[in-house]
Amino acid sequence: MVFLIVVLFQGLIHLLGLIKGIGHKEVMDLIPPVSNAIGVVWLSATVLFRRHGVLHLLNLKYAWLIGLVAVLFSQVLVIIFCATVHKFSSQC
């Protein structure tokens, strides 16, 4: 159950990228600008993490595959985002 909560929380964290990307609200912790396209990628990561959480809860055989794709999406976003952040500050 703790794993499910962590996975769903991780998905919710990725919503910050979407919120900044669509310009709905200013997110101060995300220093560089996020385009609409990257915002959609953040949303995709959110959906993948939430889907993995539900599939894991249902104990489906291939839930790990969705989790792997979610982690890969997340890592690519973090690498891209941190590379951009290093231009602006010492974060990441």
Q: Tell me the per-residue pLDDT of 6-24, one tens digit each, with 9 for 90 and over.
A: 887 887 777 777 776 666 6
What's the distance, Cα to Cα, between the start and end of the chain in Å? 29
Tally Cβ neighbours within 10 Å of residue 22: 15
What does the pLDDT look like over 50-88, one tens digit per residue? 899 889 889 999 999 999 999 898 888 888 776 665 555
Report how far residue 78's alpha carbon sits from residue 86's, in angstroms, rounded to the nearest whole number: 12
77-83 LR contacts (CB < 8 Å, sep 24+): 77/14, 77/17, 77/38, 77/41, 77/42, 77/45, 80/38, 81/17, 81/30, 81/32
